[in-house]
């Protein structure tokens, strides 16, 4: 007997940074593995997570005092005046990717592939696709293109609705 | 019959994702034995089994290596 029979979850995905790309894909794949039907609705900067190549995703240390990276047994945070220098985001992003690999954290590419393998429904917001002049051939296959009404229909039938 | 899944060194949610994939291919009644080093997986495999309706036969901690035996009872 399963507790998740017929249960549904939707996630609105709005952020396009390397760190914030993780929660939606982690929750989607985990919920789907537990038997929940999952729908992801990607809008605004969340559309970045649908580009064929995810290598461009970065973290930003700017305005993020909670980000302390472990380093040689200590923790390092970045003052805003340093964060704004050219190259700092790229350096911090490479550090984060290195750390994730070392700690056995899944790559985003793998998590996104698992999301599709587990038959999560993935919807790209048509309005923001148009707004940012994205072409469908820049984005991965297997997406639906739709608007807010499609999400509302899913959400009214879901036990869990998240906005990330 | 029992099948072993080595998820040592992998972090959340990979042990669960791999277990889900492995258990899918098992016939009902068979046991999946998962090895993990993720301390979070102790609670997570309890939740996984409650949610999916499979039976958690045992959960053991052997010096930082966790072993879970899951009997496939759900379809």
In this prediction, residue B35 carries a pLDDT of 98
Enzyme catalytic residues of B: 12
Domains held by chain A: number = 1
Contact criterion met (CB < 8 Å) for A2 and B13: no
Structural domains of chain B in order of their starting residue, each with its CATH number: 2-71 (3.30.110.40)
> In this structure, are residues A50 and A66 in contact, taking their beta carbons and an 8 Å threshold?
no
Indicate whether A87 belongs to any domain. Answer: no
Q: What is the CATH number of the domain that holds A39?
A: 3.40.1260.10
> In this structure, are residues B47 and B9 in contact, taking their beta carbons and an 8 Å threshold?
no
- Round to whole Å and give the CA distance between A58 and A7: 34
Instruction: Tell me the residue range of the domain where A113 lies.
Output: 8-53+109-163
In this prediction, residue A1 carries a pLDDT of 63
ipTM: 0.89
Band the pLDDT of A27: cuts 50, 70, 90. Answer: very high
Indicate whether A60 belongs to any domain. Answer: no
Question: Cβ contacts (< 8 Å) between B38 and chain A: which residues?
Answer: 104
Phi/psi for A15 (5° steps) reads: -110, 145
Average pLDDT over residues A4-13: 95
Q: Which residue of B has its CA nearest to A4?
A: B51
**CB contact A155 to B (< 8 Å):** no
> In this structure, are residues B31 and B1 in contact, taking their beta carbons and an 8 Å threshold?
yes
């Amino acid at each position: 007997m399963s507790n998740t029979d017929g249960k549904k979850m939707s996630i609105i995905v709005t952020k396009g940074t390397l760190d914030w790309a993780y929660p939606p894909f982690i929750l989607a794949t985990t919920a789907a593995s537990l038997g929940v039907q999952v729908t992801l609705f990607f809008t605004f900067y969340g559309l970045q997570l649908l580009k064929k190549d995810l290598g461009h995703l970065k973290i930003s240390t700017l305005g993020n005092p909670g980000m302390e990276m472990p380093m040689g047994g200590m923790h390092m945070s970045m003052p805003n005046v340093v964060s704004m220098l050219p190259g700092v985001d790229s350096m911090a992003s490479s550090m984060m990717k290195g750390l994730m690999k070392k700690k056995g954290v899944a790559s985003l590419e793998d998590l996104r592939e698992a999301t599709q393998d587990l038959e999560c429904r993935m919807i790209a917001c048509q309005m923001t696709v148009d707004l940012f002049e994205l072409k469908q051939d820049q984005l991965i296959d297997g997406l639906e293109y739709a608007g807010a009404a499609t999400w509302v229909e899913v959400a009214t039938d879901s036990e869990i609705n998240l906005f990330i | 019959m029992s099948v072993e899944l080595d998820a040592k060194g992998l972090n959340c949610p990979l042990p669960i994702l791999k277990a889900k994939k492995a258990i899918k291919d098992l016939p009902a009644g068979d046991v999946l034995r998962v090895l993990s080093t993720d301390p979070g997986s102790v609670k997570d495999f309890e939740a996984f089994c409650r949610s999916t309706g499979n039976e958690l036969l045992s959960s053991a901690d052997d010096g930082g290596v966790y072993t879970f035996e899951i009997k496939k009872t759900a379809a």
